[in-house]
Structure 1
Amino acid sequence: MARKQHNRQYDIVVFGATGYTGKYTAQYITTHLPTHLKWAVAGRSESKLQQLINDIKPLNPDRTQPAIEIANLSDADLSSLAKKTYILISTVGPYSRLGEHAFKACAENGTHYLDVTGEVPWVSKMIQKYESTAKSSGALMFPQIGIESAPADLVTFSLASTLRSQVGAKTGDVTVSIHKLSSSPSGGTLSTVFTIADVFSVGELQAAYKPYALSPVPNPTPGPARSLLSRLTGLITVPELGLLTSSVASTTDAALVQRSWGLLSTLPGKKAEAYGNKFSFREFMKPRNWLTGIGIHIGLVFLQLIIVAPLLRNILSKKVVQPGFGPDPETASRDEIEYRGIATAEGDAKKQAACKAWFNGSAYYLTGILLAEAASTLLEEEDLGLPEGGIYTPACLGQPLIDRLGRAGFHFETNLLVN
């Protein structure tokens, strides 16, 4: 597929390429994207960037090797970098502390942007500060496009597409389950967990995580009711999904999915893909048994308490893996990731769709795949139905992105359920 024509020096720049996620992204670009791609790796250390290039070159010696761009975390450096590239991939986090320079630079210079943040309050802040700027400049901006939230967003899109295309129905309730996630967090992920409350107040955190806070339009539809026992234990049984418990990513993923609902229902080029006026979303995890499920729920309650308790937060943050590090590649290669989802048609509970999405390999390599294939979608797909600029979600890249991910090993299997 031909690349879009542009007047920039590079097609893609990976900023933060020597970090844990950045390295996986560079590896995937090297082995899977077109060999004539014009790209660069960027960061603060020329020696580390050169070592990265030396490490990835044997993976595909025939391809065009990336250039090196030196960029510090400043408005001036990031603006200069953004002007050189059609797409900027930023893997430099925690984003609430380090991410705004790159986001601002892309919004102001009409540079398409991708990141892997899971920091919903930061995304909310970026939308408030820079969405109008991105619309004016033509920048298509996609925060939260890594493992943190993209799978749940794309599973929901696939479920809604199946109900719409096969039975002509809008989507009502969606339940997503993280069925398997045998992966250890990287230092960057842990750092984000323990620093976000240093940047945002409790009030700001609560406001950002309110239902549909990131959506451009409100949705007053309440989700399915849960019993008091279910809320206390975290346990719930969902037909077709079985026994489930509280999910570590439920509020983060819900914020993105709910923004997708609002965007698809209001963007002129996307209204045909809108979910439904009475849409609701919820997410859980699959425990081994009911006892494990209660334990996970209690652990997540304590984690929330730790995040808002400065003393405990500071003590624990010094004991976790530091940014730039994570599971060794051999261990990570044995990761198993699987999402499942059930969607019910709006106004007809007998019409349902089920989705299974799975990947075998490192969760952080999957993040690299998501970033690179989203960039390829922007670079090669002629009509995505999006305006010239704005802040969007993975679901806004729709089926073209899902198809690319399937070819890359992240498989989506979605079907109608026969009741």
Structure 2
Amino acid sequence: MTSNRQYDLVLLGPTGYTGQFCAEHIVQNYPTDLKWAIAGRSIQKIETIAKELKALNPDRIDPDVLVVQLNPTELNELAQKTRLVINCVGPYHLYSTPVVEACAVNGTHYVDATGETPWIKLIIEKYHETAKANGAIMIPSTGVESAPADILAWALVKRVREDLSSPTRQINSTIKEMKSSGPSGGTLNTVLSIFDWLPLSEISKSMTPFSLSVSPPPTNIPRESILEKLLGVRAIRDLGTVTTSPSAIADITIVHRSSSLMPELYGQQFFFRQFLSVRNAMIGVALHIAFVVGISLLALPPVRWLARKFVFAPGTGPRREDSTNDRLEYHAVATADNADAQRVFGKITYGGGMYLFTGLLLAEAARVILDEEEKIKKVSRGGIVTPATLGQDFVDRLEKVGCNIETKVFKY
């Protein structure tokens, strides 16, 4: 779609750990005539990144360098200049609410990599209708949390519709493998600062499975047994032994928002669960207890103070050479909402650093929005939506850059 705005895309926060990976992916994979800019608060840091990007691909148009403070006046000016903002400035609940507001008010498309569910709930309540009215497509959680789980669920639901002529009743998903060289300083500081921002009781209220949905939960969702709640571990057909996943609630809330935004595809009774695969039940119980205890301890200010002494500084993370063997693989099984309860298996795999993957996901999601703006508006209905609303165009682009998504119908 043609636009009279100065830029197609502005990357906000290119000096951060994830922002650098995103900028590099744009330089190496986008059309060389892209009209874009990189923006942040420090001119010296941004100019350093610009020089590094020039060395990666001397043939492309250099990005403009913009100095932007995170205040309403400068963010509104920025949003008015560009069709889309990729926002890599976190923790998002501390710094990025004004960015969302500026994009929503000015009809500027937006993607970010937050996994901060309480903050997503806040911005939906405050800005979804404004963004929708102004024609903005805004997609938070387009990184490892929660794009892989969301787009895999979409691919499964699509396969159930096409091959089994049925809506989907449920999807059980598990992180089959997550080999990672470790979290970045930004991720760790975000986790700690969430507990500074909200008490545990308020965090819990905003992180129920359907907290981001636009419609009420379906009826007759199977209840967990007391043992499953206490121990976390269970066995699921075709997925094996699984336990509590630390990223489950972030992914679950996003997938349920997707299903409520596209009920004609998912069906009215759809629900989603996510777990972590483990070798045996003993390990599963140990991980579940460790997670519950860890979350409880983080609610204590002295524990957070001590933890900050040992984490990476924001903007830093694992060395790139240490993440070359990283790998992410999700498995999932969808059950059709029909008399035979037919099932479809799916998996998504990516080999490489998790922050490299997040940068790739952000850049490719932005590319889909820029190329298929009207289609995405029709599917998502606009406003603050989800990665799954990008549909097959997103799947196709991810497969071209090394992320494989597969589905198959079970014959038994």
TM range (shorter): over 0.9
Aligned to 1:345: 336
Q: How does 1:35-184 map to 2 (within 5 A)?
A: 35-183=32-180, 184=182
Aligned to 1:328: 319
Give the letter for the 2:335 counterpart.
T
Which ranges of 4 or more aligned residues in structure 1 deviate by more than 4 Å?
none
Output the CA distance in 2 between the equivalents of 1:149 and 1:59: 29
Describe the superposition over 1:146-169 as per-residue Cα deviations: whole angstroms up to 9, x where unpaired: 111111111111110000001101
Output the CA distance in 2 between the equivalents of 1:305 and 1:245: 18
Output the CA distance in 1 between the equivalents of 2:174 and 2:267: 21
Aligned to 2:234: 236
Aligned to 1:309: 300
Output the CA distance in 2 between the equivalents of 1:306 and 1:222: 34
Q: How does 1:264-279 map to 2 (within 5 A)?
A: 264-265=262-263, 271=264, 274-279=265-270
Output the CA distance in 2 between the equivalents of 1:236 and 1:41: 46
Output the CA distance in 1 between the equivalents of 2:73 and 2:316: 28
Give the letter for the 1:309 counterpart.
L
Aligned to 2:189: 191
Asked whether the equivalents of residues 164 and 336 of structure 2 are also in contact (C-alpha less than 8 Å), the reply is no
Output the CA distance in 1 between the equivalents of 2:78 and 2:309: 33
Shift of 1:232: 2.2
Output the CA distance in 1 between the equivalents of 2:309 and 2:79: 34
Aligned to 1:390: 383
Shift of 1:307: 2.8
SS at structure 1 position matched to 2:266: coil
Aligned to 2:404: 411
Give the letter for the 1:18 counterpart.
T
Shift of 1:57: 1.8
Provide closer, same or farther for how the CA distance between residues 175 and 388 of structure 1 changes in structure 2, counting only shifts above 3 A: closer
SS at structure 2 position matched to 1:210: coil
Asked whether the equivalents of residues 222 and 280 of structure 1 are also in contact (C-alpha less than 8 Å), the reply is no
SS at structure 2 position matched to 1:86: strand
SS at structure 2 position matched to 1:322: coil
Output the CA distance in 2 between the equivalents of 1:294 and 1:21: 33
Give the letter for the 2:343 counterpart.
Q
Asked whether the equivalents of residues 18 and 88 of structure 2 are also in contact (C-alpha less than 8 Å), the reply is yes
Match of 1:24 among 21, 27, 44: 21
Asked whether the equivalents of residues 326 and 351 of structure 2 are also in contact (C-alpha less than 8 Å), the reply is yes
Output the CA distance in 2 between the equivalents of 1:56 and 1:31: 9
SS at structure 2 position matched to 1:80: helix
Aligned to 1:246: 244
Q: Structure 2 regions of 5+ residues with no counterpart?
A: none
Shift of 1:389: 3.5
Give the letter for the 1:32 counterpart.
N
Aligned to 2:363: 372
- The reply to whether residue 284 of structure 1 matches residue 275 of structure 2 is yes
Aligned to 2:286: 295
Asked whether the equivalents of residues 93 and 99 of structure 1 are also in contact (C-alpha less than 8 Å), the reply is yes
Asked whether the equivalents of residues 223 and 281 of structure 1 are also in contact (C-alpha less than 8 Å), the reply is no
- The reply to whether residue 259 of structure 1 matches residue 257 of structure 2 is yes
Describe the superposition over 1:74-98 as per-residue Cα deviations: whole angstroms up to 9, x where unpaired: 1112111111110000010111111
SS at structure 2 position matched to 1:113: strand
Give the letter for the 1:54 counterpart.
K
Asked whether the equivalents of residues 217 and 262 of structure 1 are also in contact (C-alpha less than 8 Å), the reply is yes
SS at structure 1 position matched to 2:176: strand
Provide closer, same or farther for how the CA distance between residues 349 and 187 of structure 1 changes in structure 2, counting only shifts above 3 A: farther
Aligned to 1:221: 219
Please report the TM-score for the alignment, with normalisation by the length of structure 2: 0.96
Q: Structure 1 regions of 5+ residues with no counterpart?
A: 266-270
Shift of 1:293: 1.8
Please report the TM-score for the alignment, with normalisation by the length of structure 1: 0.94
Asked whether the equivalents of residues 139 and 388 of structure 1 are also in contact (C-alpha less than 8 Å), the reply is no
SS at structure 2 position matched to 1:218: coil
Describe the superposition over 1:307-335 as per-residue Cα deviations: whole angstroms up to 9, x where unpaired: 32222122212321121111111111221
Output the CA distance in 1 between the equivalents of 2:152 and 2:220: 21
Q: Which moved more, 1:28-37 or 1:71-80?
A: 71-80
Asked whether the equivalents of residues 218 and 270 of structure 2 are also in contact (C-alpha less than 8 Å), the reply is no
Describe the superposition over 1:204-228 as per-residue Cα deviations: whole angstroms up to 9, x where unpaired: 2122112311111111434334333
Give the letter for the 1:244 counterpart.
V
Aligned length: 409
Provide closer, same or farther for how the CA distance between residues 365 and 137 of structure 1 changes in structure 2, counting only shifts above 3 A: same
Asked whether the equivalents of residues 258 and 281 of structure 1 are also in contact (C-alpha less than 8 Å), the reply is yes
Provide closer, same or farther for how the CA distance between residues 180 and 349 of structure 1 changes in structure 2, counting only shifts above 3 A: farther
Shift of 1:349: 5.0
SS at structure 2 position matched to 1:327: coil
Provide closer, same or farther for how the CA distance between residues 348 and 317 of structure 1 changes in structure 2, counting only shifts above 3 A: farther
SS at structure 1 position matched to 2:213: coil
Match of 2:354 among 330, 353, 363: 363
Output the CA distance in 1 between the equivalents of 2:283 and 2:326: 20
Describe the superposition over 1:346-396 as per-residue Cα deviations: whole angstroms up to 9, x where unpaired: 134541001010000011111111111111111112522246641100011
Q: Which moved more, 1:141-150 or 1:287-296?
A: 287-296
Computed over aligned residues only, the root mean square deviation of the Cα atoms, in angstroms, reads 1.4
Describe the superposition over 1:248-300 as per-residue Cα deviations: whole angstroms up to 9, x where unpaired: 111111110111111112xxxxx3xx212221111001123333222211111
Give the letter for the 1:59 counterpart.
L
